[in-house]
A and B are shown apart, each in its own frame.
Chain A
Amino acid sequence: MSLGDLRRMLDEKKLGAVELLDEYLKKIKDEDGEINSFITCLGDEAIASARLAQMLIDKGEAKAMTGIPYAAKDNILTKGVLTTCASRMLCEYIPPYSATVIESLEHQGAVLMGKTNLDEFAMGGSGTSSYFGATKNPKNMNKVAGGSSSGSAAAVCAGFVPVALGTDTGGSVRIPASFCGVVGLKPTYGRVSRYGLVSYASSLDQIGVIANSAEDAGYMLNVIAGQDEMDATSAKAELCDFTDTAKTNIKDLKIGVIKNLMGTQIDEEVKLAVSDAVRLYEKLGAKVIEVEIPSLEYALEAYYIIASAEAASNLARFDGVRYGYAEDDCKSYAEMIAKSRSAGFGQQVKRRILLGNYLLSDKFGADYYKRAVSAKNRLTEELREVFGRCDVLISPTAPTAAYGFDECDILKVCKGDVCTVMVNLSGLPAISIPCGVTSAGLPIGMSIIGKHFSEQKIIGVADVFEKEAGK
């Protein structure tokens, strides 16, 4: 059932807000033990919110999300509700304020059901590095859910919640969406406020949406988009109804297929599914061209250098004094910080911090960072040129479908971001939608990438595919 359908049923009193919430809570109780998509599931607090929402509905004061349950990734601050970043470091942290996106949803009367699992501090592509245990893929419990927004994607896929917030620094909304067979929207950098999001790599981080359809993603974006004076990087961009996809005209559409992302690094089954999807657009009248983006060759390296460098700086605040877990019984202040950080962070996070400091240090790292920024700027210029010839770009979301827990090799997980990091480096919007399944029955995702602030267009293009492919 779409978010629009839920809205209609709630407004027409065919469904009560508490009754709707109860159904989801029961499903979580019965099935999430194995999937592990939630770190915190709100029972009584969620029911109280649903009751309040029902009062608004009864008074005829309902807004788009009133009474509709949602979940938020556990690196988005929620006042009075545990926010752990899936780390021992913050395992007892209760924020004194909420992120702007949470406030926007609260203002609408949306019902926060809980906080979802993730790779620790959103670092990872598999969903396996959480202090609270890995998230399993509801499509196949022997496979990873993808990361880092593993819990949000798995929860939507399992039907625990109709929509969830995720965050995307290098593909963390789109990759788990692809692995779990749901939709993942990463808006333009600046489209959605990052205030209250625990920073990983501030120049790349963006809050996004995981939903059952492109239309639902747009429905949620309508609520969370907009400039925010609390986030200096949020943009003054024109807002519109992101679900208004009626204007999407495939016949006038110029689609660029990214040749560099259809090579040997991509599984044959993934390439086939994406090629079939492109052919469908062609059949509907779109003009398809192949485009090459030379700097893509360095995108993955540039991303890992910039993200690790920013992570090393951002995570310096977790020292057991300003924030986070603190070790007792230390002889000095310096020892207390070092021991707290060592015990509070998991291996993946520690490795990224060490790597970030290596890459930034004059002695060891030399000019890695400067070269990465140059590569990022060149990539952005090349994309600007490509978007002079195309309306949207299409590529696979990930080189493979979901893989097994025993296949989480460090380089394999890094290389799993090869199709998605370009979007973060250039601040572009992108949406991942399911476009097929492998012979093993695992979902395959396709990404539709647009110009800055063209979310309405990419949602519209995705919506056409969903409707035509479903015929």
Chain B
Amino acid sequence: MIDKETVGKLSKLSMISVTESEAEAFAKDMSRVIGMLDKIREVEIHATSSSSGYIKYPVLSEDVASDSEIAAEIKKGKKDSTFSVPRVI
């Protein structure tokens, strides 16, 4: 059962402002949906492999860190309290 207070917490987490009457309606609707979804609790958790093994994904580039020591480069463009950066558009 989801109450208005839980909806309030979820709305904060979701960054969606919800009025009092909306919270009431969401609590009612979500309780019904959660009631339906509760059946999933009968399923045991298995550490099975991913089900998407049928797809041959392309070879991706290696995840290697590149040079990120760019502080000195950025400082070169300092003007008072702002920085001038290369134009990108």
Contacts and interface: CB of A to CB of B under 8 A. Distances in A.
A376 B13 CA distance: 27
B33 A355 contact: yes
B86 interface: no
Interface residues of B, number: 40
B64 interface: no
A297 B76 CA distance: 64
Nearest to B54: A452
A383 to B, nearest CB: 9
Contact of A236 (B15, B17, B46, B56): B56
B51 A411 contact: no
A381 B48 contact: yes
B20 to A, nearest CB: 13
Interface string B37-69: 101111111101111101111101000000000
Looking at A203, A297, A319, A353, which has the most chain B CB atoms within 10 Å of its CB? A353
A305 interface: yes
Nearest to B28: A410
Contact of A345 (B16, B51, B60): B16
Given A342-B18, A345-B16, A368 B58 contact: no
Interface in B8-31: 10-11, 13-18, 22, 25-26, 29-30
Given A232-B60, A351-B29, A377 B46 contact: yes
Interface in A341-387: 341-342, 345, 347, 350-351, 353-355, 357-359, 361, 364, 367-368, 370-372, 374-378, 380-381
A338 B40 contact: no
A420 to B, nearest CB: 17
B44 to A, nearest CB: 7
B43 A375 contact: yes
A138 interface: no
Contacts of A298: 39-40, 42-43
A377 B49 contact: yes
Interface range on chain A (Cβ under 8 Å from partner): 35 or more
Given A229-B58, A302-B40, A357-B10, A342 B16 contact: yes
Nearest to B56: A236
Looking at A229, A301, A361, A367, which has the most chain B CB atoms within 10 Å of its CB? A301
B10 A232 contact: no
Interface in A415-471: 425-427, 452-453
A205 B57 CA distance: 17
B78 interface: no
Contacts of B60: 232
B25 to A, nearest CB: 8
Given A411-B36, A427-B54, A452-B54, A358 B17 contact: no
Interface of B: 2, 6-7, 10-11, 13-18, 22, 25-26, 29-30, 32-34, 36-37, 39-46, 48-52, 54-58, 60
Given A190-B55, A229-B58, 5 more contacts: A301-B36, A334-B15, A355-B30, A361-B10, A411-B32
17 contacts: A189-B52, A235-B56, A298-B42, A301-B39, A302-B43, A338-B11, A338-B15, A345-B16, A354-B7, A354-B11, A357-B14, A358-B10, A361-B10, A377-B48, A381-B48, A410-B29, A410-B32
Interface of A: 188-190, 203, 227, 229, 232-233, 235-237, 297-298, 300-302, 304-305, 312, 316, 319, 334-335, 337-339, 341-342, 345, 347, 350-351, 353-355, 357-359, 361, 364, 367-368, 370-372, 374-378, 380-381, 410-411, 414, 425-427, 452-453
- Which 3 A/B pairs are nearest by Cβ-Cβ distance? A380-B51, A377-B48, A338-B17
